[in-house]
Structure 1
């Protein structure tokens, strides 16, 4: 396809790199992959993700509106809206701390490059810096001192950010527990009594953790990715494009595996509540519920093993795809250094930046997984806290009680609550 070949040459020329038939044979397919195929696949993937999110938002809007028209002010409206309504002022502090980390991060990437280029590779005895003539040794200590100050500021910023996130999480967990407890105490049929403790304990706490990360993770980790990409494009745009080569595959594979994990996680949550009901019936008389409890233990084991297999498969695929990018850096970047297109210091700095690039990308994927898990947990908490309508939420099926969540109904708002010693 001559048009495809011409497109790759034109893209390379636009980025300041001209190559012809005298270039190594492996360079041509690599440039096609980095400058044409991978960007096109990334654009299509991002467009598809945006369309899917928009369609999901439009489908969820009528349900959210119906929830807000319910009883007692809509305590069970959308989770993001409740988080902002409850911890809005504290979220602003988290946003400011997240944005402050970006310029500090850029300094930690730029200073090692300056150390290599201006000290180790420089042939000058005296180097001009801000109108002063400094020796190479003095410049080395100056740059190392600046790097030490930058990483110290970065550590302090992360410390205060984590402390603030912990306060937001615990504040939201307390409010959510109060809301669930008040709803449960006001309308508590017999089948819901033994299940309230796992709801108030392990099911509520992940929702509080998500409340502290709902804005900070996209801002901090997304901003970290943007800062690293900006640094890479400043050094060399072609190598920066190479860093994004495997990103489309990660965006396609990881969410598909996560959807399968979500389905199994929902079954596990319901099975835990079912086990609580079985154990409660077993305490009322000897010999009651022994066989159903053993079956539930086996079911929980199988579900947990399914979750482990899916999660570690996603992790293995993600780690393999992430390890492919250094291969592109060493081959393509090494060729650019030999051609004197890129300095050795810039290549070393880009390799260091790529190590930082994979961490926020993994955190963003983890945040996506966490948001999906919390969404499921929040829906189950809503189904538990809502009063049962008609028949109780446990129905007999094949000799075992099977939990079926009742339709959600709005409860007491936890934004306008009275002071309580709880």
Structure 2
């Protein structure tokens, strides 16, 4: 457990600060340019990300709960491998533990893919909104076609750092759970810092 849980915690520490700073910097610079270019159309970009600020943390908390339960179930299963008891009874208990791990993994993947679907849906609705509002502005003479193209390109440019920040957030939450698990075990053994 120490090896399998401490390595991801240590590797996350290398990107804990640099990754969000880089990605947030890219997002802010592109968003700032778009606000200067056409403030009203920038609201469409904001409308793409505001719902994500709500559902991403909620779904990630649910993923983290399942990941913590999965880690505990795997620890229980691996600890029971060296335990004593009747062969058939142990086998049934182990089958039950691994079935729990499978169900928890399935729940994690359902939530992850649902979250990715919702994020992609928001992005595509943002493109439709930019085309709709931008088309209206072009027809009414308030902006040029190049501005609409710049906004579509800007939305695509902002989407990649947003996805990276979301992945970083997911990794941070799982790493936090792993660290808490390690700390509890080390504290129980009297070896915690």
TM-score scaled by structure 1? 0.43
Is 1:200 aligned to residue 3 of structure 2? yes
The structure whose Rg is larger is 1
User: Among residues 235, 240, 256, which one is paired with 2:42 in the alignment?
Assistant: 240
Contact 1:225 1:360 in 2 (8 A): yes
Aligned to 2:128, what secondary structure does the other structure show?
Answer: helix
Task: Compute the displacement of 1:220 (Å).
Answer: 0.9
| CA deviation vs aligned residue, 1:182-239 (integer Å, no higher than 9, x gap) | xxxxxxxxxxxxxxxx3302x2232123212211122111111101111212221111
User: Among residues 57, 68, 92, which one is paired with 1:255 in the alignment?
Assistant: 57
CA RMSD of aligned residues (A): 2.1
Alignment gaps of 5+ in structure 2? none
Residues 289-304 of structure 1 correspond to what in structure 2 (within 5 A)?
289-304=90-105
TM-score scaled by structure 2? 0.90
How far apart, CA to CA, are the structure 2 residues paired with 1:338 and 1:205? 57
User: Among residues 203, 211, 216, which one is paired with 2:13 in the alignment?
Assistant: 211
Contact 1:322 1:358 in 2 (8 A): yes
How far apart, CA to CA, are the structure 2 residues paired with 1:347 and 1:379? 47
Aligned to 1:246, what secondary structure does the other structure show?
Answer: helix
Residues 48-127 of structure 1 correspond to what in structure 2 (within 5 A)?
none
Name the structure 1 match of 2:144. Answer: 343
Name the structure 2 match of 1:315. Answer: 116
Name the structure 2 match of 1:410. Answer: 192
How far apart, CA to CA, are the structure 2 residues paired with 1:200 and 1:285? 30
Q: How many residues align?
A: 193
Higher RCO (CA < 8 A, seq sep 6+): 2
How far apart, CA to CA, are the structure 1 residues paired with 2:192 and 2:189? 12
Task: Compute the displacement of 1:288 (Å).
Answer: 7.1
Aligned to 1:341, what secondary structure does the other structure show?
Answer: coil
Contact 2:68 2:177 in 1 (8 A): yes
Contact 1:268 1:300 in 2 (8 A): yes
Task: Compute the displacement of 1:352 (Å).
Answer: 1.1
How far apart, CA to CA, are the structure 2 residues paired with 1:388 and 1:212? 27
Judging by fraction of residues, say which structure has more helix.
2
Name the structure 1 match of 2:157. Answer: 356
User: Among residues 371, 376, 381, which one is paired with 2:172 in the alignment?
Assistant: 371
Name the structure 2 match of 1:279. Answer: 81
Contact 2:26 2:161 in 1 (8 A): yes
Contact 1:210 1:371 in 2 (8 A): yes
User: Among residues 12, 18, 31, which one is paired with 1:229 in the alignment?
Assistant: 31
How far apart, CA to CA, are the structure 2 residues paired with 1:242 and 1:297? 46
Contact 1:235 1:342 in 2 (8 A): no
How far apart, CA to CA, are the structure 1 residues paired with 2:148 and 2:46? 16
Task: Compute the displacement of 1:298 (Å).
Answer: 1.0
Contact 1:386 1:410 in 2 (8 A): yes
